[in-house]
Structure 1
Amino acid sequence: MSGTSIDLAAEGGGVSLSGENLSYVIVALAFALVALGFAAMFVQSVLRTGRGTPKMQEIAGAVQEGASAYLIRQFRTLAIFVVIAVVLLFLLPVHATENETLVKIGRSAFFIVGAIFSSFIGGAGMALATRANLRVAAAAGEEGGREKAMGIAFRTGGVVGFLTVGLGLFGAALVVWIFKEDAPTVLEGFGFGAALLAMFMRVGGGIFTKAADVGADLVGKVEQGIPEDDPRNAATIADNVGDNVGDCAGMAADLFESYAVTLVAALILGQAAFGQDGLIFPLIVSTIGVLIAIIGVFITRLRKSDRNALTAINRAFYISAAISAIAVAVVSFLYLPDTFAGFGDTGIAEDILASDRNPQLVAIGAVIIGIVLAAAIQALTGYFTETNRRPVQDIGKSSQTGAATVVLAGISVGLESAVYSALLLGAGVYGAFLLGGSSLTLSLFAVALAGTGLLTTVGVIVAMDTFGPISDNAQGIAEMSGDIDERGARTLTELDAVGNTTKAITKGIAIATAVLAATALFGSYTNSLADSMADAGVTDTAAEILSVLNIANPRSLVGLLVGAAVVFLFSGLAINAVSRSAGAVVMEVRRQFREFPGIMDYTQRPEYGRVVDICTRDAQRELLTPGLLAILAPIAVGFGLGPGALAAYLAGAIGAGTLMAVFLSNSGGAWDNAKKLVEDGAFGGKGSEAHAATVIGDTVGDPFKDTAGPAINPLLKVMNLVSLLIAPAVVAVSYGDDASVGVRVGVAVLAVAIIAGAVIWSKRKPISMGDDAATASAAGAADTAKAAQDARETSTSRVKDNV
């Protein structure tokens, strides 16, 4: 079975697009431009709303300035990686084609396009979010503020959603239009560019935001007893900047690369299975996603009867999902024949041609599985992270016995949720796989199509995600300015709590797309091995692939273990980076409270810029090691142990990465909302021992849910795409006339040496970095400890007198 599908999949690629199918590509390009037009329209709608008081505008301006400065510095750093990657992509071999040089140029060029699109979506989303947060804060204090504030926040997220579907569809359709039968190879570059930039933005932004957040909470809430976002805390501006560079810019880029890479995987496998028709149908499904994004954003309206904003968001999401399923069903019946023989001579693989499956039902089933999977992930994640559900309430109850039990309860919730999420994702992947029947090629295409179906709702999903940091920032601006009444403050608190849940939900859905895309790309990797082995002179490629993929082979087992281990190392590096940077922030904020006693009575102003500088510097420095690990580890395994071990490496990374990402994301989200639960008055409310315990739990969860956990999504896709790109080179030095043990060993040793050097360099850095390290001297530490103790003893009276 597998041998036939793999061999014949390689024959389905050399067919030019017909006139009719070319028209579908042009329609897809047109709809992509429509999405971009709606994005521009919504930008104007958001910017026309009220900007609040001068004090609100001053605070928001500082956040805008800090976020923009950080992002510009990050793009300068990442430009070096882009240049290196472009050169390497051009040097890597491609499967034999008549236009080899042109295809290499196209792959490198569209790598740049993917990187630029990913950067632009992150930057544009952040730029609008730093303007919308002010407007949400202002709207919350007006008549009908609950509905107005929620509408502004969600419409802003809608802009990012439209940019995601618009640019993702435009890039993919443009590649198909220009390169036709060579499009899959060029699309590898497009997807790699999107994924690589997203991973760096996710890691760098996550380190920045959580270092500031942890430092602000530990010193402000726990030691000084002042509220969150209190202007006396020097880390508050950096914390609000971090929400934008991490949760807006980083997550927007992450969701864009999820969309782009999933579509790329569907197009690659689609052509392998169906020739030109396999290139077109995923584009049609993605075009439907543009319409769903428009409908979903427009119907998301908060009613006065709704319990909270999450009710309105969930309602719009489920309606959008239902409409998407119906639309895909209609298009499947209109575009696809009822038998595979009905496709005609378009390069369809022979094992698929012999299948008795109905193409229409296979397509509809795969897309519906993806849509249902998104809805199920949303419900499951909501259960483990919403404040009115038992898991979060149990964590809140555990706060009555201290921080240790809060941490233990949160870890338990995260571990349990990872099991159920993994089973759900496994059921979705296997359900889509079963649709292919006896054809492995068709089964893998169905998995990719399920991912494309899930992402028909990506416009709404991205809006949900961006809603979270905007609401968080709006509450911070309102609290720092003091220009908001009690009703408006309640509205912003409600929106912030809902935002925590929507962020957790979208992270769960992003993880689902990572699993589907990685599984589909794994199928693309085996197809690439078959093509490359045939080029190297292997006569029975099917038998050879089955041999190298045998898990009983010690090489494969080692590869699997290394793949799982890399996920753990990557997560540890990201969390440790936050810990070190947060240590520097804590020392700086403590220093300011100690050296400027007038801060507490508002007679002296904190030096906000110092903390922003610390977070910016550390984020740029710390993202290097995780990035090198993601790129070089597959190279080391592939060249060192061979193509079979590299396949096992990917399997190990997918399995461990899925569990780790869900665990980190959901435990962090549950800790955050447990803190919100106590702050709303449960178990003693703000200032109580229970509150201090949940703050500790939240600070532990911050790098879990906003740095390491979300970064695993692009990590999996980057490693899969790197493996796909190097597969021809790995096969070339392992088989045939070009086989060379020396080259293999040399490349592997060099990659391992660079990884080891980066990790050692990272681990040798001190726990508290920067010029402020001197404040950690013995005398300074004693003074700080005494000041912290005094602050704790008088925190209640200070809050009453000054806040």
Structure 2
Amino acid sequence: GTERMRELSGTIYRGAMAFLNKEYQVMVVYAVIAAAILALVVGHQTAVAFMGGAFFSALAGNVGMRVATKSNARTATAAKRSIGKGLTVGFSSGAVMGMCVVGLGILGVSIFYYLFGDPRIIVGFGFGASSIALFARVGGGIYTKSADMGADLVGKVEARIPEDDPRNPAVIADNVGDNVGDVAGMGADLFESYVGSIIAAMVIGFTGVTVGGVVLGQTDAVVLPMLLAAVGIFCSIVATFFVRTKRGAGIKTLHAALNKGVFGSAILIAVASFFLIWFFVGVVEIFWAMLAGLVAGILIGLSAEYYTENRFSPVQSIAISSQTGPATNIISGLSVGMLSTMIPIIAVIGAISFAYYITLPNGLYGIAIAAVGMLSTLGMTLATDTYGPVADNAAGIAE
């Protein structure tokens, strides 16, 4: 990019890393104190696992933040040539974050399972990841929204200048906030969910599992969730190559390309998981439980798209309500937001119920496998999510 673009990108990078470093300083103090308490109350192995979970979660957020903040100017430059080029560069940076989160997640769980051989100790790893997620998601989210609202209030309301206008100094804080909340914060949050689902399935499998009249070996029941997660990573990597567009592509084509990657990864994971489960344990009921979670995850994504896309009626109804003033806008927005929770709730309840009954008498193991299935596409979906703030920053730099 131009010298000015590199200057703006560097400013955003320094601001984001300054926030992250300050946040991590607080996290380290908390993590050390919490680990010391765990060592005294539970055991030193759990404390070590806790520190490992905190480290891997922080590392994933740090790597993702660095890549995202280094890619915004490149994305803006690529978009000058074509929208498709901009998508390729922006999505590639998001893919680094997505694969980093799932890769470090399964790597950390595998390392501590190899070291200790007891999934109950690895619960500490999930606890450590949750602790970092609390700081990163909540702290980053507060910063993100405060910077966003502050920039809009100063720019749009007081100075009457457009969004992302370079004359508004708060725009830099807004762009920093996009990375803090939607890259590092979201990455830590989903890292915790990802490793939590795997560890839960491993712990339940460690107690002994019988599904469909077949008694699973303890090692098989413990290792299977990690193998399913590994299959998900591999299929997500393959699916990133589906996110391509032809020359002259428009906005709708870009959206279709992203959906192609998400749906492609889900199909690949479903097929690969069937063969893995069939040849590894030979119990097809476990596959149906995993598929229930996978389908529920796709339905939740489609529901979110329906309620937030401007080409669908929910957003259009809010826009129409805005014509009569802010009061009707708020009421309409709240009602649509509340209604949007219905499909995700039904999808989760349906997946839990189906997975439980299909894997009786050990229905809890089925629910845990369904959770692993729901998050098996995380590498691809997180890549798509991270592409958002990168593109947003690129638009701000271009402005």
Q: Same fold (TM over 0.5)?
A: yes
Distance 2:151 2:226 in 1: 46
Partner residue in 1 for 2:397: 477
Alpha-carbon distance in structure 2 between the residues aligned to 1:302 and 1:190: 40
Secondary structure in 1 matching 2:162: coil
Q: Distance in 2 between matches of 1:153 and 1:187?
A: 35
What are the equivalent positions in structure 2 for 1:25-424 lying under 5 Å apart?
Answer: 52-93=1-42, 104-142=43-81, 145-180=82-117, 183-274=118-209, 275-304=218-247, 307-337=252-282, 360-424=283-347
Cα distance in 2 between the residues matched to 1:125 and 1:372 = 27
C-alpha distance after superposition, 1:58-102 (max 9, x if no partner): 111111111111111111111111011101111224xxxxxxxxx
Query: Is the Cα–Cα contact under 8 Å of residues 39 and 45 in structure 2 kept in the other structure?
Result: no
Equivalent residue for 2:359, pick from 436, 450, 461? 436
Structure 2 Cα separation of the partners of residues 421 and 332 of structure 1: 27
Contact 1:165-1:289 within 8 A present in 2 as well: no
Opposite residue 420 of structure 1, the aligned amino acid is I
Distance 2:38 2:255 in 1: 44
CA distance in 2, matches of 1:429, 1:134: 44
1:447 aligns with 2:343: no
SS in 2 for 1:308: helix
| Cα distance in 1 for residues equivalent to 2:385 and 2:192 | 15
How far the C-alpha of 1:202 sits from its partner, in A, is 0.5
CA offset at residue 107 of structure 1? Answer: 1.1
**Shift of the alpha carbon at 1:262?**
0.8
Q: Partners in 1 of 2:112 and 2:324 — Cα distance? A: 59
Counterpart code for 2:175: N
CA contact (8 A) 1:282 1:449 kept: yes
Note if contact 1:176-1:279 (Cα within 8 Å) is conserved in structure 2: no
Aligned residues of 1:161 and 1:293 also touching (Cα < 8 A)? no
| Separation in 1, partners of 2:207, 2:337 | 39
- 1:668-707 to 2 correspondences below 5 Å: none
Secondary structure of 1:79 counterpart: helix
Native 8 Å contact 1:272 1:278 kept in 2:
no
For residue 204 of structure 1, what is the amino acid of its counterpart? G
Distance 1:411 1:55 in 2: 41
| Percent of paired sites with the same residue | 40
1:239 counterpart letter in structure 2: D
| Aligned equivalents of 2:203, 2:303: Cα separation in 1 | 31
Q: 1:218 to 1:432 in 2, by over 3 A?
A: same
- 8 Å CA contact 2:65–2:183 kept in 1: the answer is yes
State the AA in 1 paired with 2:102: V
Q: Residues of 2 paired with 1:402 and 1:162: CA distance?
A: 44
8 A Cα contact 2:289 2:359, kept in partner: no
Q: What per-residue deviation string (whole Å, max 9, x for no partner) do you get for residues 291-332 of structure 1?
A: 112111122112355623221111111111111111011111
Q: Distance in 1 between matches of 2:170 and 2:67?
A: 22
Distance 2:351 2:120 in 1: 27
Which amino acid is 1:197 matched to? I
Structure 2 letter corresponding to 1:452: V
Name the CA distance, whole Å, in 1 between partners of 2:113 and 2:223.
9
Question: For 2:245 and 2:355, how far apart are their aligned partners in 1?
Answer: 35
Tell me if the contact between 1:123 and 1:249 (Cα under 8 Å) persists in the aligned partners.
yes
Distance of 1:288 and 1:420 partners within structure 2: 28
**Which is worse superposed, 289-298 or 326-335?**
289-298
Distance in 2, Cα, partners of 1:156 & 1:70: 20
Distance in 2 between residues matched to 1:303 and 1:284, nearest whole Å: 35
Give me the whole-angstrom Cα distance separating, in 1, the residues matched to 2:245 and 2:27.
40
C-alpha distance in 1 between matches for 2:102 and 2:146 = 31
Amino acid at match of 2:72: N
The structural deviation recorded for 1:377 is 0.8
Unpaired segments ≥5 residues, structure 1: 1-51, 94-103, 338-359, 480-803
How far has the Cα of 1:224 moved from its partner? 1.8
Measured in 1, the distance between the counterparts of 2:224 and 2:147 equals 45
Matched to 2:284, the amino acid is L
* Deviations 1:623-650, CA, capped at 9 Å, x for gaps: xxxxxxxxxxxxxxxxxxxxxxxxxxxx
Q: Distance in 2 between matches of 1:445 and 1:419?
A: 26
Q: Give me the whole-angstrom Cα distance separating, in 2, the residues matched to 1:397 and 1:308.
A: 27
Q: Which amino acid aligns with 2:246?
A: R
- Structure 1: which amino acid aligns with 2:268? I
* 8 Å CA contact 1:296, 1:460 repeated in 2: yes
Measure the CA separation in 2 of the matches of 1:476 and 1:405.
30
In structure 2, distance between residues paired with 1:251 and 1:186: 26
Separation in structure 2 between the aligned mates of residue 273 and residue 395 of structure 1, nearest angstrom: 51
Secondary structure class of the residue paired with 1:74: helix
Give 1:290 shift: 1.9
Tell me by how many angstroms 1:385 deviates: 0.5
The corresponding residue for 1:577 is none
| Residue of structure 2 in register with 1:6 after alignment | none
* Structure 1 contact 373–425 (Cα < 8 Å) conserved: yes
Q: Would you say the 8 A contact 2:98–2:382 is kept in 1?
A: yes
The equivalences for 1:618-657 within 5 A come to none
Larger of the two Rg values belongs to structure: 1
CA distance in 2, matches of 1:90, 1:249: 28
Q: d(CA) in 1 for partners of 2:342 and 2:198?
A: 27
Q: Could you tell me which amino acid in structure 2 is paired with residue 405 of structure 1? A: T
Deviation at 1:420, TM superposition (A): 2.5
Task: State the partner residue of 1:646.
Answer: none
Q: Separation in 1 of the partners of 2:310 and 2:392?
A: 16
Tell me, what secondary structure is at the counterpart of 1:407?
helix
Kindly provide the CA deviation profile for residues 101-139 of structure 1, in whole angstroms up to 9, marking residues without a partner as x. xxx222111111110111111111011101101111111
Partners of 1:320 and 1:231 in 2: how far apart?
Answer: 39
The answer to whether the 8 Å contact 2:300/2:343 transfers is no
Q: Is the 8 A contact 1:271 1:277 kept in 2?
A: no
1:582-601 to 2 correspondences below 5 Å: none
Q: Secondary structure at the match of 2:285?
A: helix
Cα deviation digits, residues 186-210 of structure 1 (max 9, x gap): 1111000011101110111111111
Which amino acid in 1 is paired with 2:327? Answer: A
Paired with 1:320 and 1:201, the residues of 2 have a C-alpha distance of: 28
When the two structures are superposed, what TM-score results if normalisation uses the length of structure 2?
0.95
Measured in 1, the distance between the counterparts of 2:25 and 2:276 equals: 44
Greater RCO between the two (CA within 8 Å, min separation 6)?
Answer: 2
**Cα contact 2:258–2:384 (8 A) shared by 1:** yes
